[in-house]
Amino acid sequence: MKRHGKIKIGTFVFLLVGLYVSVLGFRYFSLILAERNVRNAIEESAFRWRDAGRTEALLEFKSEMSGLGFDDPDSVCDFYAYGRQRHVKCEWYEVLSYPLIGKKKDFLFDAHFVIGDDDSITQGGS
């Protein structure tokens, strides 16, 4: 006769591994979402520079990045003009910490938007 309520060790391990993978997946998803939010803030700053000027763009950028949790937004992006083009070039790190094992992995992200002399905005550039 089979006893009810008895949990097999395999089932328990399977549930623990499933839970761990779910938590790790949620953290990866949060990392991707944070990167997308930062990239959108940078792109909005490029549009603001095109439409309202560099000073307005920097003010909006600092406000957006502070809202996203950056302590020093000035260290993230460089707003500069090269010839007749204006560039917004950014690099930032995000850290993913693995649950339970304490290991951390750094991810480097970058974004580069170029405002051409015809006021078109493209991604990338040199």
pTM for this prediction? 0.79
Spatial CB neighbours of 45, under 8 Å, sequence gap ≥ 6: 57, 58, 60, 61, 64, 77, 79, 88
DSSP readout, 77-110?
EEEEEETTEEEEEEEEEEEEE-TTT--EEEEEEE
Q: What is the pLDDT along the chain (126 residues), one digit of tens a residue?
A: 566 667 788 888 888 899 989 988 999 999 999 999 999 999 999 999 999 988 999 999 999 999 998 888 888 999 999 888 999 999 999 999 888 888 999 999 999 999 998 988 888 765
